[in-house]
Amino acid sequence: MIRKLKSGEYRLYSRKKDPKTGKRRNLGTFQDRAAAEKHEREVQYFKRAG
């Protein structure tokens, strides 16, 4: 899940909420949306690769 921050950067959050905090986990902050989308694909691949 990608959200745009007030600073103009994009942050990637986990799809599920963290059971400990009740919030979504921050998976990285990126300068542009394309970089965030690329990293999201890498994360999804890695989840299945294990």
Instruction: Tell me the pLDDT tens digit for each residue of 1-50.
Output: 999 999 999 999 999 999 999 999 999 999 999 999 999 999 999 988 86
What are the b/e assignments for 12-43, b being 16+ CB within 10 Å?
bbeeeeeeeeeebeebeebeeeeebeebbeee
pTM for the full model?
A: 0.85
Give Cβ neighbours of residue 5 (< 8 Å, ≥ 6 apart): 11, 29
